[in-house]
Every structure is written in C-alpha cells, then in structure tokens.
Chains A and B, each alone.
Chain A
Amino acid sequence: QSVLTQPPSVSGAPGQRVTISCTGSNSNIGAGHYVHWYQQVPGTAPKLLIYSNTRRPSGVPDRFSGSKSGTSASLAITGLQAEDEADYYCHSYDNELSGGAFGGGTKLTVL
C-alpha cells in the first residue's frame, strides 16, 4: 500500500484535458511538504515533470500543471497528445517514514 494514493488509470482523447489525483495525509502533503510529479515511459527512467507543487522544469510544456490543496494534489494535462501516454507518479516527503513517498502510479492512456 502506497502512502500516497493515485488512481490506477485515466484516459482521454487527443486534445482533451485529464487530471490525476494524489491523496496523502497529515504526515506528508497535509504537513506542508511539497508534491512533485514524474512521467515514466515504460522501459525508461522517470522524468521530473512538476516540482514544488506547481513548478515546471525547463523544457516541460505548459500543458502540464500541478496544484495542491490540503492533503491532496493534482496533475492536469491539457491538449492531450499521443506522446503523453505514460505512467505518472506523485511524490512527497513523509514525516512518519522520515523519507520519500511515492504514489502507486497512474497509467495514462490516450484514446
């Protein structure tokens, strides 16, 4: 069981908007720790997509955005493209674990 909970899968048609939720608790997201998001194409290493809740690394399209509220966070992808098909993971620090905690991952399918 992951400390951070994500839906196993989401899907959307090209051009549509999808969101991926990440639900935590008062020992991680709710404690004020930042939430980060990674994109992983199967067979490759994860890639940082969003850091510190809302910030995008250089090179990440502004179609990707992050938000945080209370004990949850969300990743939104607008203008869905075929190349966005991948696994997405949220990540935060957890006080009880004294370390990092990942969500279980969400598989995005572009229909």
Chain B
Amino acid sequence: EVQLVESGGGLVQPGGSLRLSCAASGFSFDKYEMNWVRQAPGKGLEWVAYINSGGSAIHYAQSVRGRFTISRDNAKNSLFLEMNSLRAEDTAVYYCARDGGNWYFDFWGQGTLVSVSS
C-alpha cells in the first residue's frame, strides 16, 4: 500500500524557517517524481515544488522561488521541503504528492499544517 506521511509542520514566526519531511512507503520511491502542494485555510490547492526521481531537475512556484528548497533522500525514501523567510501568506496545509506521470498526482499524504504568525 502506498503511503506518504508528512511531518515537521508547526507554528513559526514571520521570517523564520521550517523543514518539512515526507516519508514514503509501499512503492519504489527512487523511481517517482515528487511534488509539494499547499492549501491555505479555506482556499484552493497551490502547487509549490517538483523534483524528479534522481533529484537533478527541480521546479518551484514563483511564490516560493528563492525561499524554499525541495530535496530528497532516495536511500531513506524521504522527501523534504526546506522553508526559509516564511511569510504569513505561507500559512497552509502542505501535502507531498507522488507524480504518476504527465504531472498528475496519484497519491497524497495527509498533510502537515504550517502556521506563520507572530
């Protein structure tokens, strides 16, 4: 069974940093592209970042470029999102999602909440 479990969310002050993790199991993690998607309270889905299976190709949404860093550790079946210079507008539930190909996300984690507030 495919499972994605996010962790690392919490309350952080504006300008602060946070590192999210996503533990993958039930599939060959090193063969799949992965993404982070977020959802602000009461709002829609927003794609955040993409990384290919080997970690050599990375893309970011304009809203987080230069502040967030996506990475992965295939030996540990883990995906990460390093978030710096956090702003109030980064407050959201962050989901990791497996890319099934052609940019469709076939499995999602349960999400982890990041709250940016003083």
The chain A residues found within 8 Å of chain B, CB to CB, are 2, 33-34, 36, 38, 40, 45-48, 51-52, 57, 87, 89, 91-93, 97-105
Contacts and interface: CB of A to CB of B under 8 A. Distances in A.
Contact of B59 (A40, A89, A98): A98
B60 interface: yes
Interface of B: 35, 37, 44-47, 50, 59-62, 95, 100, 102-111
B59 to A, nearest CB: 5
Nearest to B95: A45
Contacts of B37: 46, 100, 102
A59 B104 CA distance: 17
B58 to A, nearest CB: 10
A101 B47 contact: yes
A99 to B, nearest CB: 5
B47 A100 contact: yes
Given A45-B111, A99-B61, A51 B106 contact: yes
**A-B complex: 3 closest residue pairs judged by Cβ atoms:** A100-B47, A51-B104, A36-B104
Contact of B45 (A48, A92, A105): A105
A57 B60 CA distance: 27
Contact of B44 (A2, A36, A48): A2
B111 A36 contact: no
A45 to B, nearest CB: 4
A64 to B, nearest CB: 15
